[in-house]
Homo-oligomer: A and B are copies of this chain.
Amino acid sequence: MIEELRAALADRLGPEAVSTARADLAGYEQGARYGQGRAAMLIRPADTAGVAAAVRACRVAGLPIVPQGANTGLVAASTPDASGTQVVLSLERLRGPLEIDPLDRTALVGAGVRLSALNQALAPHGLCFPIDLGADPSIGGMIAANTGGARLIRHGDVRRNLLGLEVVLADGSVLDLLNRNRKNNTGIDLKQLFVGSSGALGIVTRAVVEVHPLPRQSATALLVPRAPGDVPRLIGDLEAALGDFLSACEGMSRNAMACALRHRPRLRNPFQGGLLPGYAVLIELAASCGPDVVDLQAMLENFLAPRLEDTLADAIFGRAEDLWALRHAISDSLKEEGKVIAFDIAMPRSALPAFRAAATADLARDWPWLRVCDFGHSGDGGDHFNLVWPHDAAEPFDPACVEPVRALVYDRVVRDHGGSFSAEHGVGPYNQAYYDRYTTPDRLALSGAVKQLLDPEGRLGVVRFGSPDTTDNGATP
């Protein structure tokens, strides 16, 4: 049956669009961080009509579909499970259109267009799509995950910059919600359903996004607070004074910075005498006007100078690239230090210091060798509270610790602070169990009903939005 479907789709979409060869499939079966399964088939249509045809054919054949963008997601939401029955529907060939309207500051983009490609096309117009991420995802995947990133404090998430969508639904029909208006309140805003829902309600094929003037200058500093508890107040003061320009506010713990410096010997250690502080905050101001109009660097220095008398132990004005290099090196370098248990949590930003202290103390009781190497978007309450089980720990890594550690951390985040167990990575098999645990029964019921409405046969995606007691699709919790 698979072979029949392959042949029919090859006829319809071209032979380059379909494969069941193991070698072709391998790259689509393994996620960027989690997710490792086996696909029944790979389909790579080149346009919306092709996606719709593929969905209809899979429906007739009774096969579940895993939509996949650039496969850079971090919760295993775009890779097949181990059953070998799921079809990976890659959107990577949907690279057209890429139409930029500079006067309206909008772009119509195919789901397979990469963030970097969009920004490359926008740059000659003095514009950018200001979602700043470590990876280079496709626009469709960014919508399915509602990505955030380091400039969220200034520009918001993908949802905030999304004007219109085209979606292929589970029945293979094309729902046209494309819209180029900044304001359009003409009924239920259906496109919102597809944002951040991991491809389980529909497959994004095209989008209209709002784009923004490219910054023409920035000013960057690394701040060392006298106490981590001072950070929320510092951010508040910074916003009150210079909030028009604040474009990033990234916290880094000593452990995280130490790890980056240890495993990336070419990184410059920016601190006086190389002495790492307990916590540092990377601040960036950006403006679309030039330094002839506004001198951001002077502005930032003037703001920080009096604070060196009280809340700040130090303020370091290195080269922006050097300071960002330290921040960007953290995530990968942790892997070289040991086994990483990664988190993507958020809470009201004022709660971060208390949470960090309490969770660190909790963990130290049962796993004293676990190293808290957290870093992240302090300005918006985000924290990649990543833990490292060092390779050189007395105890060898015990995979059985992962679930109790995650439960401990998430419980503090969600129950103590009303925080989020997935701030910007979305929901996938990696955190399905926590979705099930922390989602209230009424939200589960309504989410399940929405899923049922849009995908009654449970054919799309690998996330189960309804109650774990029901099976609204083939996902395993």
Contacts and interface: CB of A to CB of B under 8 A. Distances in A.
Contact of A186 (B181, B195, B439, B449): B439
Given A188-B450, A240-B288, A241-B288, A182 B380 contact: yes
A279 interface: no
A190 B443 contact: yes
A346 B380 contact: no
B289 A242 contact: yes
Contacts of A347: 181
Contacts of A451: 188
A421 to B, nearest CB: 6
Contact of A103 (B233, B380, B382): B233
A449 B438 contact: no
A399 to B, nearest CB: 25
Contact of A197 (B102, B184, B188): B188
Contacts of A83: none
Interface string A403-447: 000000000000000111111111100000001001110110011
A212 to B, nearest CB: 8
Contact of A288 (B126, B177, B244, B350): B244
Interface in A230-251: 232-233, 236, 239-245
A287 interface: yes
Contacts of A188: 193, 196-197, 201, 447, 450-451, 465
A299 interface: yes
Given A104-B348, A289-B244, A438 B186 contact: yes
Nearest to A382: B183
B157 A160 contact: no
Contact of A192 (B182, B193, B239): B193
Interface string A370-389: 00000001001110000000
A145 interface: yes
Contacts of A152: 182-183
A176 interface: yes
Interface residues of A, number: 89
Given A176-B440, A442-B173, A449-B453, A185 B299 contact: no
A42 B268 CA distance: 69
Interface in A207-259: 212-213, 232-233, 236, 239-245
Contact of A196 (B106, B185, B242): B185
Interface in A439-477: 439-440, 442-443, 446-447, 449-451, 453-454, 465
A105 interface: yes
Give 6 closest A-B pairs by Cβ, nearest first: A192-B192, A184-B420, A183-B423, A103-B350, A182-B380, A104-B348
Given A187-B197, A189-B197, A446-B454, 17 more contacts: A103-B232, A152-B183, A157-B183, A175-B443, A180-B348, A181-B346, A183-B424, A185-B420, A185-B424, A186-B421, A186-B438, A187-B447, A188-B196, A212-B243, A213-B239, A242-B288, A293-B302
